[in-house]
Structure 1
Amino acid sequence: MDTGLTSGLHTRFLRGLERSGGGVAVHVGDQALTYERLHELALQWGGALAETGARTVGVLAGKGVTAYAGILAGLYAGATIVPLRPDFPAARTARMVEAAGIDVLVADDRGRAVAPAGVPVLGAPSAAQALAAPLSPASDTAYVLFTSGSTGRPKGVRIGHAAVEHYFGLLDARYDFTPDDVFSQTFDLNFDCAMFDLFCAWGAGAPAVVLPGGAYRDLPRFAAERGLTVWFSTPSAIDLVRRTGGLTPGALPGLRWSFFAGEALTVRDTADWRAAAPSSIVENLYGPTELTITVSGYRWDDVVTPRVAVNGVVPIGEVHAGHDHVLLDGDDVEGELCIAGPQLTPGYLDPADERGRFLERDGKRFYRTGDRVRRLADDGLAYLGRLDSQVQVLGWRVELTEVEHALRDCGIQDAVALGVAGDAGTELFVFYTGGERPVLDMVRALRAVLPEGVIPRHYRHVEEFPLNANRKIDRKTLAARAAELLAPTPV
């Protein structure tokens, strides 16, 4: 089909519609929704949205037909879309709906139950309302995603059509996705990496397969049944698959590409994944929401990467073409990563949230990522951690990632180190997984590789780390637990 449209995020779906040969666009459970059927639904719902005059459409639905059709329908109607989660607290959702100025909601049954009063919810559209063809975008903003700042208050980030066009153009040049690929869809739709899941798959004319929670109990079987060839998740998923016995050598032979993003990716986890998926090229992707999904990438090499990794963490690679970056408060070898370029957000919904987040230099606007990095010899970047991952303990400057790496090298399965306020100031607290170990054994092992002042005083074994809504390790919950354990016992 020829819509005459050459720009807008939805044009990737239209390209996939042409390439798919009548194939499946998304698998949800046992339901397979073809490109033609999803396109038809999006035109109908898009027509109903266009009749309301909505410029900003909220999609309050879990991963399912309503959500996928709703996202496309909003884009087809020329509106800005705002993905929302129906399992979030109703009060939080209401704040986001108000902040984004949402005109209409597309909601599933669970979403309807928590929809804020006074905001119209789209009813079942009729074929008579269907658009003849998608409309041109009415706004430069393709979608809005909410992130939590240090206060926990939702911050709305605007992402432009030009930014996603630049981003996916780079991905098209870098990867060889085809209609024969089958993509995992692991991320919740309010997480920016879900846009990679969907629009990489749809741009190639391939299906995206929603992973139910139970799939992780036997990922090799699920991957084989669905024919997965492209995997994308947070690194925390690797340990989950490991604990369920899914990382045995050769267990994931069908994967061609494996991508990880959202938190630090360790060398050990990647090596284990590579053993399970020996035919897969593995890339570590990096990027805050403000820089449109991911803005750098590093391709794993079995020999080179373990040698150049810092603190056992896979590098984040080179910043995308067309962007500039500087390292702030350092010697241009190590410092806070700041990035300017076409993927940069035009700003937050509330301009007050921009205070301290952007830097003007040489006539360019840079985003301050809050991440500390180090330049490598090949011009790539090594991730050192968040600015607040460096703490002072009794005069020692402690890199928490270095402590975590040392613990893993000492035989601990995985570790999270935290700086927590105690009676004597900041104290180091470690949560670790794997077999429970005597504290004295861990301390003796650490003394061989760390200065005395850097060795943690407190250790707590856990069966697994808590994960937040985006399936990242929930460090805030662990920090609260550590503070609780360190609190003086009432007399």
Structure 2
Amino acid sequence: MNQLPAHALHSRFLRGLDKAPRNVAFRVGDHRITYEEAHHRALEQAGSLLAGTDEPPAAVGVLAGKSVEAYTGVLAALYAGAAVVPLHADFPAARTRYMLEAASVGAVIADEAGLKALADAAPADAPPVLAPSAATGAGTARRLEHRPDRALAAPRSAAPSDTAFMLFTSGSTGRPKGVPVTHAATHHYFRILDQRYDFTEDDVFSQTFDLNFDCAMFDLFCAWGAGGSAHALPAHAYRDLPAFLAERRMTVWFATPSSITLARRTRALAPGAFPTLRWSLFAGEALRAEDAADWQAAAPASTLENIYGPTELTVTVTGHRWDPGTSPARCLNGLVPIGRVHEGHDHLLIDTDGEPADREGELVITGPQMTRGYLDTTDDAGRFLTHRGRTWYRTGDRVRRIDDGELVYLGRLDAQVQVQGWRVELSEIEHALRTCETVTDAVAVTRTGADGTTELVVFHTGEPTPPAALARLLGGVLPKGMLPRAYRHLAEFPLNSNRKIDRRRLAEEAALPAPSAAA
């Protein structure tokens, strides 16, 4: 029996190791890594991270895609007693460099793609990197030697208040905001999930989310806590999703609602198309009733849930279980309810004056899943409030409370939007575009695309500039998921009666076909 305090996030992997040591813990392509193999690799990597040091690095970056190195890297960082900082190899170098420095990353675990990205992103005093021996190039970073002889005998523990992982969200100041999530927060979260779901060692989980997306923690640690298997979903799986799910005998699907649109577009969303699924879970953006009904018909043996939560509240903090008989009547504006807030938490609805509201208002939540604050405390302003002697997190989401106490999402109160699962601050897009010499000012808005997904559109003043040039500029500082779909030049912005930029009018124009002469 492998022992760690139950509050330690990595104790969930040890629980799966005890249940099913020879089960596949994760699969990447044709690579199947058992619990025993992953455990020994993580112990070895953790020992290599700690070789020659008395104290573990406070944070270990995992700069990797959906690879063997990524999944063992998450475990190795936790085993070493460090916080995991998931990073993305496709992010612009400047963004990765900022995250490394802001999180005080003391070492990096990388795969081949991550190693190349680190060579571009690493600061002058780059943290040392542990990568496959055959991988080449790390810029100025020092390569850590693999030391099987220094493998840990057992994973190190962690205090409840220690940070388990740190994620970065879009920030209105033009830089990402670091969100530390403690072991105590994850312990409460996964205890709720253990009560809510009946996952077992026979379950096969989709792993659709990149590691820097907090929902990936659900995929991995729900699977590992049950002794089940997490399968990385390759992009080509969507070419024939029914065949992929059948071949893998997948039982748990978790993705953004955009995956439903993609399945429909590839003609995969036929009734009974996904017979092996037991659970179908969606988060990251609003779930439309039409999409829920179509997916439920395609996976008739599965229980479908719409789950909701910002990173600051540890992955998800509410849930609505879809009932084909009753749920459609409970939807508002065609959106599925987000359900009730998790046990152990309190929530309020507040009006525009910050006063408690009865049925509709901004959702604010406090409880054990709430982060203690952003990595940079200056980011806390406006996101937290004090009420009745307690600190609450302001989600910025407007919701309505329906008759039985469930909540329905109505939209954002501020300039933060969800684009294919990404939380995007429109002001960050605008800030980045204003760095272009030909751009005087910029306004970002959203529109609904032909397939029902949310798209970003940018209007800009200044010199007419080819959209391709603007896209290249933004591509150097923003992840692909945050890039606008369209760029439109205006001589000047329309103003409303208060002499402010009329964003509503721009949003209406964004929904119209672009003029043929637009830049």
Partner of 1:327: 349
Partner of 1:250: 272
Partner of 1:348: 374
Q: Which runs of 5+ in 1 are unaligned?
A: 391-399, 402-417, 436-467
**1:220 to partner: Cα distance:** 0.5
1:106 and 2:109 are equivalent in the alignment = yes
Count residues in correspondence: 425
1:168 and 2:190 are equivalent in the alignment = yes
1:232 and 2:254 are equivalent in the alignment = yes
What secondary structure is seen at the aligned counterpart in 1 of 2:81?
coil
C-alpha distance in 1 between matches for 2:340 and 2:293: 21
Determine which of 47, 54, 61 is the counterpart of 2:64.
61
Partner of 1:2: 2
Partner of 1:45: 45
**1:2 to partner: Cα distance:** 2.7
CA contact (8 A) 2:26 2:230 kept: yes
Partner of 1:144: 166
Partner of 1:187: 209
Give the counterpart letter for 2:149 in structure 1: A
Determine which of 379, 386, 398 is the counterpart of 1:360.
386
Deviation sequence 1:341-387 (CA, Å, 0-9, x none): 00000111100111100010011111000100000001000100111
CA contact (8 A) 1:3 1:134 kept: no
Determine which of 430, 436, 450 is the counterpart of 1:433.
450
1:128 and 2:154 are equivalent in the alignment = no
Determine which of 351, 359, 381 is the counterpart of 2:407.
381
**1:490 and 1:81, CA in 2 relative to 1: closer, same or farther beyond 3 A?**
closer
C-alpha distance in 2 between matches for 1:473 and 1:127: 38
Please provide the CA RMSD for this pair.
Answer: 2.8
**1:92 to partner: Cα distance:** 0.8
TM alignment of 1:240-279, pairs within 5 A: 240-279=262-301
Give the counterpart letter for 1:119 in structure 2: P
CA contact (8 A) 2:22 2:34 kept: yes
What secondary structure is seen at the aligned counterpart in 1 of 2:96?
helix
**1:433 to partner: Cα distance:** 1.7
Partner of 1:369: 395
Give the counterpart letter for 1:373 in structure 2: V
**1:91 to partner: Cα distance:** 1.2
Give the counterpart letter for 1:255 in structure 2: L
C-alpha distance in 2 between matches for 1:284 and 1:10: 26
Deviation sequence 1:204-246 (CA, Å, 0-9, x none): 0000000000001111000000010000000000010111111
**1:97 to partner: Cα distance:** 0.2
Partner of 1:339: 365
TM alignment of 1:284-299, pairs within 5 A: 284-299=306-321
Deviation sequence 1:160-186 (CA, Å, 0-9, x none): 000000000000011100001100000
CA contact (8 A) 2:22 2:36 kept: yes
**1:487 to partner: Cα distance:** 8.3
What secondary structure is seen at the aligned counterpart in 2 of 1:106?
strand
C-alpha distance in 2 between matches for 1:490 and 1:12: 54
C-alpha distance in 2 between matches for 1:358 and 1:57: 28
What secondary structure is seen at the aligned counterpart in 1 of 2:105?
coil
C-alpha distance in 1 between matches for 2:101 and 2:278: 42
CA contact (8 A) 2:58 2:104 kept: no
CA contact (8 A) 1:337 1:372 kept: yes
Give the counterpart letter for 2:190 in structure 1: F
**1:309 to partner: Cα distance:** 0.3
CA contact (8 A) 1:236 1:473 kept: no
C-alpha distance in 2 between matches for 1:363 and 1:329: 19
**1:152 to partner: Cα distance:** 3.9
C-alpha distance in 2 between matches for 1:262 and 1:17: 30
What secondary structure is seen at the aligned counterpart in 1 of 2:411?
strand
What secondary structure is seen at the aligned counterpart in 2 of 1:359?
strand
Partner of 2:23: 23
C-alpha distance in 2 between matches for 1:149 and 1:434: 28
**1:355 and 1:485, CA in 2 relative to 1: closer, same or farther beyond 3 A?**
farther
CA contact (8 A) 1:144 1:159 kept: yes
Partner of 1:220: 242
Give the counterpart letter for 1:125 in structure 2: H
C-alpha distance in 1 between matches for 2:29 and 2:444: 46
What secondary structure is seen at the aligned counterpart in 2 of 1:360?
strand
Deviation sequence 1:243-284 (CA, Å, 0-9, x none): 111111100001000000000000000110011000010000
**1:485 to partner: Cα distance:** 6.9
**1:6 to partner: Cα distance:** 3.4
C-alpha distance in 2 between matches for 1:72 and 1:490: 50
CA contact (8 A) 1:57 1:79 kept: yes
What secondary structure is seen at the aligned counterpart in 2 of 1:162?
helix
**1:434 to partner: Cα distance:** 5.8
**1:486 to partner: Cα distance:** 6.4
What secondary structure is seen at the aligned counterpart in 2 of 1:258?
strand
Deviation sequence 1:290-325 (CA, Å, 0-9, x none): 000000000001011110100010000000011011
Deviation sequence 1:138-159 (CA, Å, 0-9, x none): 6611110000123441110010
C-alpha distance in 2 between matches for 1:322 and 1:350: 27
**1:113 to partner: Cα distance:** 1.7
**1:136 to partner: Cα distance:** 1.2
CA contact (8 A) 1:55 1:79 kept: yes
TM-score relative to the length of structure 2: 0.77
Give the counterpart letter for 1:120 in structure 2: P
Give the counterpart letter for 1:126 in structure 2: R
Partner of 2:484: 477
CA contact (8 A) 2:2 2:15 kept: no
**1:269 and 1:473, CA in 2 relative to 1: closer, same or farther beyond 3 A?**
farther
C-alpha distance in 2 between matches for 1:429 and 1:5: 46
Give the counterpart letter for 1:30 in structure 2: D
Deviation sequence 1:399-427 (CA, Å, 0-9, x none): x99xxxxxxxxxxxxxxxx9xx9xxxx99
Q: Which runs of 5+ in 2 are unaligned?
A: 131-143, 419-425, 431-442, 453-474, 489-508
What secondary structure is seen at the aligned counterpart in 2 of 1:338?
strand
**1:490 and 1:341, CA in 2 relative to 1: closer, same or farther beyond 3 A?**
closer
**1:5 to partner: Cα distance:** 3.7
Identity of aligned residues (%): 58
C-alpha distance in 1 between matches for 2:260 and 2:516: 37
Give the counterpart letter for 1:15 in structure 2: R
